[in-house]
Structure 1
Amino acid sequence: MSQITTQIDRETTDKLTYIQQQTNQELPEILRAAINDYYQKLKLKKQKTPFQLLEESGFIGCCSVESDLSVNYKQVLATELEAKYGNR
């Protein structure tokens, strides 16, 4: 086993105390669980492709646009700005 010595601020100390009171766990158990959770979260995040992350975030498919937008985006933008702001 390894021994770790560290300093934590008052807010973190209060959170740790709260966790101990709520779970009746000792510090090593709490740290072990926290490290395992963080490890799993990082591992899961690393396994996903950028497409998967965007899809899960709801960004992909959040709006619909013309199928040829990549070709005529300047005209679409000009039309939308004209509609919103008028002729300035």
Structure 2
Amino acid sequence: MKKITEAIVRKDKTVNKIQFDKEWFYSLEDMQDFLNEDLSGVEYVTLPMDIYGEILDVKCATWEDIERFRQKEPLEDFRGSVLRGPLNPKGGKKK
């Protein structure tokens, strides 16, 4: 995972961004390219952005949402079912 700060991303011209309601939102597609990571699980909102003179609806997320997803444990969703110990600690079938 590439260590990066929001200040670096905000200065980068390759990442489209928009300030909405006093908070910065970043294009998820641009952030995927910038970080070279899959961000398909990040919660997003669709906001209008001016890209090359055209207004397009773009999937965007805040820096906090992106970082929360990047720092998530890879098997966190499976902890409750897959990583659970045996039903009977002695190893036999429960009767």
* TM tier relative to shorter chain: under 0.3
- Which of the two has greater helix per residue? 1
TM-score of the aligned structures, taking structure 2 as reference length: 0.24
Q: Which structure would you say has the larger Rg?
A: 1
